[in-house]
């Protein structure tokens, strides 16, 4: 198919759109789509992203198979039109908690996309857990499940945002001491549930003295998340809560930094839904970007030797997540057996979860 030349349609004086021919998109991993229209039809989009700029602009990219035209709409108005592959820079949109874009192809099911990060005053790693393409070509819905760092510093404005996002269920993956020192702030009408991943575990009871010890502590903790009694019980609660939320979903799961215990919750959910391992890893590693300023601030206040020991514990690294997958293989053989035997998610429940959270 000959690629259509991209054109811009300006629909309001406050809105400007810049469109340019797009190079082959790369799988950046975390700013991807969700839901759409025309249930039961295939989603032609193989790649699609929305990235919010610091200046209030939004860069939208897409690549779709077997289509000639794609229209992008925001706030009910067309903001761009293009061919099967394109890139658009949109400015002038009004402020919003999340700016959604509807990507509508001339055939097949559309997608609704937003930037992955939800900007809050009291949290730096609050982001959508959905928005990824599965190996089978479906997409994980956005706006249904969120992952976050601690919620104890949320402001009144932040809580208002969570209410507008329809947050109904919060799973706190932290230990008792963390919960006591920094209790969660949640919307008044949300259900709060403790799901302590390290309950009864010796993880982090002793402080590492060298960088190597710190790395080992992180990989050992990842294994405990998978096979420890507390980890199995906690993640079983999370899966049960997501699967049981139904139409009343939206769900948040979080720990202190939103990267390790939360990272495995997200990895387990995405893997169960059929998202490729490399995409799951990209989502996991994204915490390094979202938490960079906060982590740098912590390290800058420490003596060099102490910072060297502490840095591996602030990072997310491939070997940490891989340790979790290795533990699944060692303890259960397959991921499906981990879901069934470890978390109690049977075939019927997994099928329902996919029905609820996947489109296409």
Confidence of residue 247 (pLDDT cuts 50, 70, 90): low
Mean pLDDT of the chain: 89
Element containing residue 50 per DSSP (H, E)? strand 45-52
pLDDT tens digits, one per residue of 202-213 = 877 788 999 999
Long-range contacts of residues 47-51, Cβ cutoff 8 Å, at least 24 apart: 47/133, 48/103, 48/111, 48/113, 49/25, 49/113, 50/99, 50/101, 50/113, 50/114, 50/115, 51/115
The pLDDT of residue 349 is 95
Q: pTM of this prediction?
A: 0.88
Class of the CATH-defined domain 117-359? alpha beta
Strand 169-172, strand 191-194: pairing: parallel
| Spatial separation of the C-alpha atoms in residues 248 and 35, rounded to whole Å | 17
Q: Which of 84, 113, 161, 255 is catalytic?
A: 255
Q: What is the DSSP string of 60-115?
A: EEEEESS-S-EEEEETTEEEEEE-SEEEEEEE-PPP-SS--EEEEESSS--EEE--
| Spatial separation of the C-alpha atoms in residues 308 and 250, rounded to whole Å | 39
All structural domains of the chain with their residue ranges: 1-115, 117-359
pLDDT tens digits, one per residue of 166-220 = 999 999 999 999 999 999 999 999 999 999 999 988 877 788 999 999 999 999 9
pLDDT tens digits, one per residue of 296-318 = 999 999 999 999 999 999 999 99
- The total number of residues written for the chain in this structure: 360
Cα torsion angle, 205, 206, 210, 216, sign:
negative
CA–CA–CA angle 166, 168, 169 (5° rounding): 140
Instruction: Tell me the three state secondary structure of residue 220.
Output: helix
Class of the CATH-defined domain 1-115? mainly beta
* Tokens at 280, concatenated: 């799951």
The pLDDT of residue 38 is 42
Whether 39 is a known active-site residue: answer no
Q: In terms of Cα–Cα distance, which of 270, 300, 268, 254 is closest to 124?
A: 254
């Amino acid at each position: 198919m000959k690629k259509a030349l991209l054109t811009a349609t300006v629909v309001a004086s406050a809105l400007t759109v810049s469109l340019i021919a797009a190079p082959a998109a790369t799988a950046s991993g975390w700013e991807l789509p969700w839901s759409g229209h025309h249930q039961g039809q295939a989603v032609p989009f193989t790649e699609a992203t929305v990235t919010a700029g610091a200046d209030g602009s939004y860069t939208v990219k897409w690549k779709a198979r077997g289509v000639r035209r794609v229209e992008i709409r925001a706030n009910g108005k067309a903001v761009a039109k293009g061919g099967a592959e394109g890139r658009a820079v949109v400015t002038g949109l009004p402020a919003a908690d999340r700016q959604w874009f509807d990507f509508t192809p001339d055939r097949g099911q559309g997608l609704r996309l937003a930037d992955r990060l939800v900007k809050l005053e009291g949290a730096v790693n609050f982001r959508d857990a959905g928005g990824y393409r599965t190996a089978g070509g479906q997409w994980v819905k956005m706006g249904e499940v969120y992952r976050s760092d601690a919620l104890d510093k949320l402001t009144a404005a932040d809580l208002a945002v969570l209410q507008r996002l329809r947050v109904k269920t919060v799973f706190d993956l932290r230990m008792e001491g963390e919960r006591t020192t920094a209790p969660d702030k949640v919307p008044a009408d949300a259900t709060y549930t403790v799901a302590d991943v390290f309950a009864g575990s010796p993880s982090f009871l002793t402080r590492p003295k060298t960088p190597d010890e710190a790395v080992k502590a992180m990989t050992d903790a990842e294994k405990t998340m998978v096979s420890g009694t507390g980890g199995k019980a906690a993640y079983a609660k999370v899966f049960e809560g997501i699967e049981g939320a139904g139409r009343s979903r939206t769900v948040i799961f979080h720990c202190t930094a939103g990267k390790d215990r939360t990272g495995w919750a997200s990895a387990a959910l995405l893997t169960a839904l059929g998202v490729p391992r490399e995409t799951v890893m990209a989502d996991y590693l994204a915490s390094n970007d979202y938490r960079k300023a906060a982590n740098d601030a912590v390290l800058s206040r420490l003596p060099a030797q102490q910072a060297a020991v502490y840095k591996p514990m602030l990072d997310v690294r491939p070997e940490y997540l891989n340790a979790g997958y290795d533990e699944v293989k060692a303890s259960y053989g397959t991921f499906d057996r981990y879901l069934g035997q470890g978390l109690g998610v049977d075939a019927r429940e997994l099928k329902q979860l996919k029905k609820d959270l996947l489109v296409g």
